[in-house]
Amino acid sequence: MKRQNPLNNLLILIALPAIVSLVVSLLVLWFWDARQPDEQVIMLPTYSGTAQSATGAEAAPEAQGVEDSADGSAVEAVSEGLVEACQNPIHIVESGQTLGAISRSYNFTPEEVTAANLVVDATFNPDMLYVGQSIVIPMCGIPTLEPTVASTETPVPPRVIPTPGATATEPAGGAVSVRIAGVVDPGDITREGVEIINRSGPIDLEGWTLTNGGRLVFTFPAFRLFTQGSVTVLTGVGQNSAVNLVWGRTQPVWEVGDVIFLYDPDGELRDFYEITQ
């Protein structure tokens, strides 16, 4: 009889339990997997933001038809739906309520609620609430106002026309009444002129001035204007005469919209005239 090798017996004793353990483990795993329900794969929609209704509740899209695939798995198709724009809810103040209590009931601080209401109503007073008042709750954040675009137009300062002073006195002639009768061809340097008329006794115009209210000033030379007489102050160049006085400028001075002021030698305003056409 052939003697068995002890090494073979040792290998059998080691391998046989390992094989039995492996088989038992596989059977247990198979039995456990067989008892588990089929898993479903859910496809959820994505949103660009969180929507809240006027009461602060979140709007959820409805899920539509679930179909089983051939391998037993289920794929849930969910409609995207439309997400409405978020709107801050409105709280109506009741008797005995304070801004602090209202704010805490919505998990906000009074300062946050005050800031939200000041945006929509600059006169909002957190210390003076009344029954029935609408309070904005900033569930969607504090609203912001669109920035106001500053006007690029240059503001035109109001034109102030001084009131003519008291009429100066003339020796042995009575009150002085010198007026601006009109403007001839404003803007045309060859013809432009201001007509002055004297409705009182004879008067010497030396030292009187015509001005546009700025730095352009014409000073009358020695010139005696008789009763009901007139003289035209021409803007251009030329020679003085009995009816014309020459300023000697090369550019026109007057244009439509200007106001011409006439002052006496004492600096008192005697008349003004607005060029309308």
In a domain, 186, yes or no: yes
Residue 208 lies in a domain: yes
Same domain, 176 and 234: yes
Q: Is the pLDDT of residue 83 over 80?
A: no
One domain for residues 201 and 258: yes
Least confident of 30-34, 62-66, 93-97, 211-215: 62-66
Q: Which of 34-43, 55-64, 193-202 has the lowest mean pLDDT?
A: 55-64
Instruction: Clarify whether residues 202 and 124 are in a common domain.
Output: no
Out of 77-91, 193-207, 244-258, which region has the weakest mean confidence (pLDDT)?
Answer: 77-91
Q: Is residue 211 part of a domain?
A: yes
Instruction: Flag whether 69 is in a domain.
Output: no
Do 220 and 245 form a contact (C-beta atoms < 8 A)? yes
Contact predicate 186/277, CB 8 Å: no
Cβ atoms of 65 and 111 closer than 8 Å? no
The whole-number average pLDDT for the span 137-166 is 64
Mean pLDDT of 19-31: 83
Residue 253 domain flag: yes
Whichever domain contains 122, its CATH number is: 3.10.350.10
Q: In the predicted model, what is the mean pLDDT of residues 27-52? A: 57
For residue 101, give its domain range: 90-136
**Which range, of 31-45, 119-133, 136-150, 186-200, averages the lowest pLDDT?**
31-45
Residue 77 domain-assigned (yes or no): no
Same domain, 179 and 257: yes
The whole-number pLDDT of residue 86 equals 80
Of residues 43 and 94, more confidence is placed in: 94
Number of domains in the chain: 2
pLDDT at 91 over 70: yes
pLDDT at 211: 94
Nearest alpha-carbon partner for 40 in 14, 60, 63:
63
Both 112 and 192 in a single domain? no
- Residues facing 62 on adjacent strands: none
pLDDT at 8: 72
pLDDT of residue 151: 57
Same domain assignment for residues 181 and 265? yes
117 and 174: one domain? no
Q: Could you tell me if residue 191 is inside a domain?
A: yes
Q: What letter does residue 200 receive in the DSSP assignment? A: S
Judge if 130 and 173 occupy the same domain.
no
Q: 257 and 195 in one domain? A: yes
Residue 3 banded pLDDT, cuts 50, 70, 90 = low
Question: Within this chain, do residues 268 and 174 fall inside the same structural domain, yes or no?
Answer: yes
Q: What is the 3-state secondary structure (H, E, C) of the chain?
A: CCCCCHHHHHHHHHHHHHHHHHHHHHHHHHHHHHHCCCCEEECCCCCCCCCECCCCCECCCCEEEEEECCCCCEEEEECCCCCCCCCCCEEECCCCCCHHHHHHHCCCCHHHHHHHHHHHCCCCCCCCCCCCCEEECCCCCCCCCCCCCCCCCCCCCCCCCCCCCCCCEECCCEECCEEEEEEECCCCCCCCEEEEEECCCCEECCCCEEECCCCCEEECCCCEECCCCEEEEECCCCCCCCCEEECCCCCCCCCCCCEEEEECCCCCEEEEEECCC
Check: pTM over 0.95? Answer yes or no: no
Q: Between 13 and 98, name the one with better pLDDT.
A: 98
Residue 108 has pLDDT above 90, yes or no: yes
Residues 121 and 180 in one domain: no
Residue 194 lies in a domain: yes
Same domain, 269 and 202: yes
- CATH number of domain containing 206: 2.60.40.1260
